[in-house]
A and B are shown apart, each in its own frame.
Chain A
């Protein structure tokens, strides 16, 4: 078979523009899913108008659940704060009680300002002054 025969065969097998048009119409008639609706056409000038879709919202039941959950968490947080405050108050009260019940062995005959040498500051519960303690005779006079 010579080259001219090859070219002739090739020309015969070429699909014309009209044949291609028909082939493609038939092809896409089967290719496009039937479930797709027939398409309209909207020009880009129409499409460029912003089409805004709001986000999906959760269902009312889900909203109620989330409100309840938030309330429960708030109550739990308040309870925890109250517990912490209570513990703190107890500690303060314990320290204050300790200071009140201190015995004579815990008392030192010094003024509240420490051993400043001042003789005018009471050192006793009855208002006894430091200078007066000097005059207390521990042994009876002979």
Chain B
């Protein structure tokens, strides 16, 4: 087998490795990017961008995938923030209005509540925001979060409790009406 043939034979294996890593880690990457930008779609785009660049990467072998993807995604988010795109964001579920499947008023109210909580989260410091995002978007336990954040489970529990309390204060200050 020539070198080009052996290299071509390795392409499916490489793609499968990337796909496997995506399945196992994309949600966590999304949580980290979300805690940076407080925008779910932008965080998702950052995840996609990082994996696309990994797929197209032709330089030195990537040795620490997670760190590499985090770096690429964070740099992308910073570039986007610098460009300050002025595109308007559509209400979620707008496409579902066809045929009356969704009540537009309910959708608008849901969107407004989401936006209030999102802006309140953005006012927290990054560590508090990160523990809330990791707990509620990935349903990780305190033990799991402690392993990743290099601290004790008790410290994570304390931080979670403090973050929830602080978020509640911000929401009340902003006049949030809970159901």
Q: Which of A's residues lie within 8 Å of B, judged by CB? A: 10, 13-15, 17, 19-21, 23-25, 27-28, 30-33, 35-44, 47, 50-60, 63
- A–B Cβ pairs within 8 angstroms, 15 of them: A13-B172, A19-B168, A27-B136, A31-B40, A32-B27, A36-B44, A37-B27, A51-B17, A53-B14, A54-B14, A55-B57, A55-B58, A55-B60, A56-B57, A57-B11
Chain A CB within 10 Å — which of B23, B62, B136 has the most? B136
Check B10 against A54 for contact (C-beta < 8 Å).
yes
Write out, one digit per residue, whether chain B residues 88-128 have a CB within 8 A of any chain A CB (1) or not (0).
00001000000000000000001000100110000000000
- The interface residues of chain A lying within 8 Å CB-to-CB of B11 are 56-57
Check B132 against A53 for contact (C-beta < 8 Å).
no
- Report Cα–Cα, A70/B136, bound state, in Å: 56
Q: At the interface, yes or no: B75 with Cβ under 8 Å from chain A?
A: no
Of the residues A28, A41, A56, A60, contact of B14 by C-beta under 8 Å: A56
Contact (A28, B172) CB under 8 Å given A36-B47, A57-B8? no
Q: At the interface, yes or no: B28 with Cβ under 8 Å from chain A?
A: yes
Considering the complex, give the chain A residue whose CB is closest to the CB of B25. Answer: A39
Check B132 against A24 for contact (C-beta < 8 Å).
yes
A60 to chain B, nearest CB (A): 6
- Report Cα–Cα, A31/B4, bound state, in Å: 45
Residues from 9 to 42 in B contacting A, C-beta threshold 8 Å:
10-11, 14, 17-18, 21-28, 30, 34, 40-41
- The interface residues of chain B lying within 8 Å CB-to-CB of A41 are 138, 140, 144
- Report Cα–Cα, A95/B164, bound state, in Å: 97
Check B165 against A17 for contact (C-beta < 8 Å).
yes
- Report Cα–Cα, A63/B3, bound state, in Å: 11
B26 to chain A, nearest CB (A): 6
Considering the complex, give the chain A residue whose CB is closest to the CB of B111. Answer: A30
Check B7 against A36 for contact (C-beta < 8 Å).
no
B120 to chain A, nearest CB (A): 10
B126 to chain A, nearest CB (A): 17
- The interface residues of chain B lying within 8 Å CB-to-CB of A21 are 164
Considering the complex, give the chain A residue whose CB is closest to the CB of B164. Answer: A20
Check A53 against B17 for contact (C-beta < 8 Å).
yes
B37 to chain A, nearest CB (A): 12
- The interface residues of chain A lying within 8 Å CB-to-CB of B44 are 33, 35-36
Ranked nearest first, the 6 interchain pairs of A and B with the lowest CB-CB distance are A39-B27, A15-B168, A28-B136, A20-B164, A57-B7, A53-B62
- Report Cα–Cα, A14/B24, bound state, in Å: 38
